[in-house]
Every structure is written in structure tokens, then in C-alpha cells.
Amino acid sequence: MSTVKKPLTPKLPRQKRRTVVENDEFAAFGRRIIRAHGRRVATGDVEALRDLVSLSSVIDDAIGEAVIGLRAFGYSWSEIGSRLGISKQAAQQRWGGDKP
């Protein structure tokens, strides 16, 4: 009697969209935190100003990572650009085309 072993990790077809874990409330929470940090600086916490400014580079990095992930997931530059209100060419130029 011969037994055929099934692979441990089955190959699943790549889906274009995955189940959303974070939602609009999650993004709103992030915005509230950033605004609260700005209000804290505005009340005289000058030492925290540098931290607030550095958040912009963290956000830019996160956007770049998100775009790279969306491209790997199968989204086109047109789809990404339309969500951002820019052309596909502008999106491609900003986030590096099809670089890995």
C-alpha cells in the first residue's frame, strides 16, 4: 500500500483582495494620535517638535511599503494612482516603478 503525502502548505490561488483587519476607525485613531501630539507640542513641549516632524518620514516609508505590497498583490499603477487622485505615471515615478 502506497500513501501519497499532501504538501504541508497548499498552493492557494493569489487573491487580489484580502480580508481587512484594520478599518476606517483604525486610521482615524492614528490621525487622533498625531493631532494630539501636535497639540502637546503647541502647549510648549518644544522638545517633542523633532519627534513630531520625524513622523512625516515614518508615514512616507509606510506609504512606500504599502504601495510595494499592493503591487506585489497584483494591483496596477492605475488602480493605485486612482485611489490617491494622481495619474498612474505619477504613482510609478514616486514609488519607483516595478523595482522590488
Name the DSSP letter for residue 90: H
SS3 60: helix
Parts of the chain with a pLDDT under 50: 100
Name the DSSP letter for residue 44: T
Give CA angle at 75 (68, 57), nearest 5°: 30
For the chain, the domains span 25-94
CA R_g for the chain: 20
Task: Give the pLDDT score at 6.
Answer: 54
Task: Give the pLDDT score at 7.
Answer: 55
- Are 77 and 94 contacting, i.e. CB atoms less than 8 angstroms apart? no
State how far the Cα of 22 lies from the Cα of 26, in Å rounded to an integer.
6
Task: Give the pLDDT score at 36.
Answer: 94
Task: Give the pLDDT score at 26.
Answer: 87
